[in-house]
Amino acid sequence: MKDFHFDAIAAFENYEIDKMSDGEVMVSTEVVKSSLNYYGNAHGGYLFTLCDQISGLVVISQGSDGVTLQSSINYLKAAKLGEHLTITGICVHKGRTTRVVDVAIHNQEGEHICKATFTMFITGDRGEKVRI
């Protein structure tokens, strides 16, 4: 049997927060070698992690702390090594105990890579001293 091992997948080796306002976050990054699957495309877990992180940042942008309660993702197009990705998260429901966040990832051509929806459970207020 062939020796088999898993390589670590790095989601945030290089990123920039382009926009962060109340309920809306935009982050950009580039697909790097450590984020690829065995087929040479961006790993689905990498793309999901980007979406999950941005959902958390959307909640933080509203002054709250939260954790993912439920999520759903649709992979629409493969992302390739070196592609520039823009991840946008928007709060579409701001409840007292939950938030619903829509996240989309596009490449530099504006093509949809994936679309996700996250239900976030609010665990408390961040407070002014730790707000981003």
In the structure, what pLDDT confidence band is assigned to residue 12 with cuts at 50, 70 and 90? low
> pLDDT for 71-112, tens place per residue?
999 999 999 999 999 999 999 999 999 999 999 999 999 999
- Check residue 128 and give its pLDDT: 61
> pLDDT for 39-73, tens place per residue?
999 999 999 999 999 999 999 999 999 999 999 99
Ranges of H-type helices in 1-132: 44-61
Instruction: Tell me the three state secondary structure of residue 115.
Output: strand
Q: What gap in Å lies between CA 52 and CA 46, rounded to an integer?
A: 10
Angle at 16 (CA atoms; ends 53, 79), nearest 5 degrees? 70
Span 16-35, mean pLDDT? 94
pTM: 0.88
- Check residue 7 and give its pLDDT: 53
Span 125-130, mean pLDDT? 68
Decide: 85 and 30 in contact? Cβ < 8 Å: yes
